[in-house]
């Protein structure tokens, strides 16, 4: 646990009382963002998580305790409207006086456009684009002509799965908290610096762990992982469904099966929030090993360690299945 700096002859108890009185009340959307904010806040306070672990953030009904947490917030950190299209309305209704920070919109964040179709083309780092003021607005249809759940948003919102984005966001979080709580600005900045350094070490470790699998292919349940793929130079061959709101069409399933056979894909991933039987049904007569990827860290304990453990778990699950 990180502790605030001591100034002059002020006792630790007095400083703790001052910090407790001035630390902003913070609300966040999902567990990975909660972990990043908790890292920056250190021992000064704990953010309130709105979307409970294990639930899909794309569609969500607030419980009374979560609505109360929004009402009491001084500042709200959230990923984007593309991830939680319902959340902005909740903020405006319940936390209209709170500062809101949409992290995907912050300067320096790497954004990736949505991939289309059941099978993906090989990706490259030139697909990255830095945050711009003008976002491309596109619709994405599946094979049956149905709009994807993210049709009104030009960029994939799963940006927290790129740890370089997390490093950017740690600084953003520290700056915004310091603006509301200047007495603790040095602590927020120091905690962000330590968090970024720890992520740099972790990225090097994951790069080394995934190096043997650069030329392997896998299939995921829905297209949530391209930020992780792009950062660590591994490539999913396709996704069962573009989003997680609807079941895939027969045409999409057929396209995935064709891709699996053509590339000799031997690994397919489900997600804990959704029925793993769908993966098993798609690949029931194929020699495909199934694993689990969790982009939200649903079974991890909340706190600063959740985010790095989430990345470790993704790398470990990929390595185990691809072996």
DSSP for 77-141 reads: EE--TTT-TTHHHHHHHH-TTSEEEEGGGSTT-EE-BPP-SSBPPPP-GGG-EE--SS------B
Q: CA-CA distance, 127 to 12, in Å (whole number)?
A: 50
Q: What is the residue extent of each domain of the chain?
A: 12-109+146-204, 212-322
If 0-12 CB within 10 Å is exposed, 13-18 middle and 19+ buried, where does residue 100 land? middle
Q: Same CATH fold, 212-322 and 12-109+146-204?
A: yes
At the second CATH level, the architecture of 12-109+146-204 is: 3-Layer(aba) Sandwich (3.40)
pLDDT at 287: 82
**Nearest-5° angle of CA 246, CA 249, CA 251?**
155
Q: CA-CA distance, 135 to 249, in Å (whole number)?
A: 29
R_g (Cα) of the chain, nearest Å: 21
**Residues 210 and 232: beta-carbon distance below 8 Å:** yes
Q: Assign domain 212-322 one CATH number from 3.10.580.10, 3.40.50.2300, 3.40.50.1980, 3.90.550.10.
A: 3.40.50.1980
| CB count in 10 Å sphere of residue 90 | 20
Checking if the pLDDT of 279 tops 70, the result is: yes
pLDDT at 297: 96
Query: pLDDT class for 152, splitting at 50, 70, 90?
Result: very low
Find tokens 């190096």 and name the residue: 211
pLDDT at 33: 98
Q: CA-CA distance, 48 to 35, in Å (whole number)?
A: 11
pLDDT at 9: 36
Average pLDDT, the chain: 83
**Residues 277 and 270: beta-carbon distance below 8 Å:** no
Q: CA-CA distance, 137 to 126, in Å (whole number)?
A: 20
Closest CA to 237 of 322, 299, 152: 322
Label the pairing between strands 267-270 and 289-292: parallel
Chain segment 31-71, per-residue pLDDT in tens: 999 999 999 999 999 999 999 998 889 889 999 999 999 99
**Residues 34 and 28: beta-carbon distance below 8 Å:** yes
The phi and psi torsions of 40 (rounded to 5 degrees) equal: -70, -40
Checking if the pLDDT of 135 tops 80, the result is: no
Checking if the pLDDT of 153 tops 60, the result is: no
The predicted model gives 204-225 an average pLDDT of 92
| Cα–Cα separations (whole angstroms), residue 235 to 98, 148, 214 | 40, 22, 8
């Amino acid at each position: 646990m990180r502790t605030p700096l001591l100034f002059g002859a002020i006792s630790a108890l007095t400083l703790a009382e001052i910090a407790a009185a001035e630390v902003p009340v913070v609300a966040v959307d999902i567990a990975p963002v909660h972990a990043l904010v908790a890292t920056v806040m250190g021992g000064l306070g704990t953010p309130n998580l709105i979307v409970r672990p294990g639930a899909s953030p794309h569609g969500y009904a607030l419980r009374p305790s979560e609505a109360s947490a929004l009402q009491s917030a001084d500042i709200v950190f959230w990923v984007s409207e593309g991830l939680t299209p319902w959340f902005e309305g909740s903020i405006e209704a319940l936390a209209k006086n709170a500062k809101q920070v949409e992290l995907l919109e912050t300067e320096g964040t790497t954004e990736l456009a949505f991939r289309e179709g059941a099978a993906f083309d090989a990706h490259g780092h030139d697909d990255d684009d830095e945050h711009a003021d003008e976002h491309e607005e596109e619709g994405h249809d599946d094979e049956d002509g149905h709009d994807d759940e993210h049709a009104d948003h030009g960029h994939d919102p799963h940006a927290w799965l790129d740890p370089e984005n997390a490093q950017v966001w740690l600084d953003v979080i520290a700056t915004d908290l310091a603006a509301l709580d200047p007495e603790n600005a040095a602590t927020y900045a120091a905690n962000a610096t330590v968090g970024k350094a720890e992520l740099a070490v972790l990225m090097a470790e994951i790069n080394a762990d995934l190096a043997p699998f650069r030329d392997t292919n896998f299939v995921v349940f829905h297209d949530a992982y391209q930020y992780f793929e792009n950062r660590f130079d591994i490539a999913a061959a396709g996704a069962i469904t573009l989003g997680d709101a609807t079941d895939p069409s027969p045409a999409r399933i057929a396209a995935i099966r064709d891709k699996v056979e053509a590339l000799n894909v031997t690994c397919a991933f489900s997600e804990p929030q959704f029925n793993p039987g769908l993966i098993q049904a798609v690949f029931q007569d194929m020699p495909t090993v199934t694993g689990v990827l969790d982009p939200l860290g649903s079974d991890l304990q909340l706190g600063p360690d959740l985010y790095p453990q989430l990345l470790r778990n993704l790398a470990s699950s990929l390595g185990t299945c691809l072996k």
